[in-house]
Amino acid sequence: MTARSETQLRPGLWETVNARYPGSMISNDDVVTLAPLARPVSQCRLTFVSSAGVQPRGTLPFDVVHPVGDYTFRRVPSQARPDDLEIHQLKYPTDGALRDLNVIFPITRLQELVADGVVGSLAPSFYSFIGYNMDPQLLERTLAEDIADAVVADAAEIALLAPA
């Protein structure tokens, strides 16, 4: 474990998780410097990236039974209503999110922030995947890179990232 990881994690978490899932805790010393905003948030286009397994109804469900994970993502139209969306994920409690999707995927709140002028606009798509993935290198090489490319193509200036 690196010194940086030590400072980023809750004390004892590394040992606890490794005892339960040996080999699951990895460190990555690559650092990508955060890009400074070129203009106020109220003028920026925002996208949202989530590991909550949220997807438009009728799209191929995330592969939640696969023993090493699903490395695909779904585009979620940023103007969608919560009723247009569903969750496919086994590994976190979804009771609250099924009552109000915004607790895990705050799409309505973000739409409201745009309407109130707090955020400039929303990118056409948000992005969602499932966090149960056992190959961190594949996750980084494919899923993360693909989502990053899509976010750039959407000309998003702010990416709000939210783990489930």
Output the CA–CA distances (angstroms, integers) from residue 95 to 12, 60, 81, 92, 149, in the order listed.
28, 22, 18, 9, 32
Residue number with CB closer to other proteins (87 or 110): 87
Among 1, 4, 21, 162, interactor with other proteins by CB under 8 A: 21
Among residues 91, 51, 56, 92, the alpha carbon closest in space to that of 72 is found at 51
CB 44 within 8 A of CB 157: yes
For the bound state, the minimum distance from the C-beta of residue 62 to other proteins, rounded and expressed in Å, comes to 10
For the bound state, the minimum distance from the C-beta of residue 41 to other proteins, rounded and expressed in Å, comes to 32
Among 37, 134, 153, 155, interactor with other proteins by CB under 8 A: 134
For the bound state, the minimum distance from the C-beta of residue 135 to other proteins, rounded and expressed in Å, comes to 4
For the bound state, the minimum distance from the C-beta of residue 34 to other proteins, rounded and expressed in Å, comes to 27
Kind of pairing, strands 121-122 and 158-162? unpaired
10 binds other proteins (CB under 8 A): no
68 binds other proteins (CB under 8 A): yes
Number of other CB atoms surrounding residue 49 within 10 Å: 20
Residue number with CB closer to other proteins (78 or 89): 89
Which residues in the 85-114 window bind other proteins by CB under 8 A?
86-95
Among residues 156, 124, 148, the alpha carbon closest in space to that of 73 is found at 148
For the bound state, the minimum distance from the C-beta of residue 11 to other proteins, rounded and expressed in Å, comes to 20
Across 58-71, b (16+ Cβ under 10 Å) vs e yields eeebbeeeeeebbb
12 binds other proteins (CB under 8 A): no
Give phi and psi for 160, each to the nearest 5: -90, 120
Residues that bind other proteins (CB under 8 A): 20-24, 26, 53, 61, 64-68, 86-95, 134-136, 138
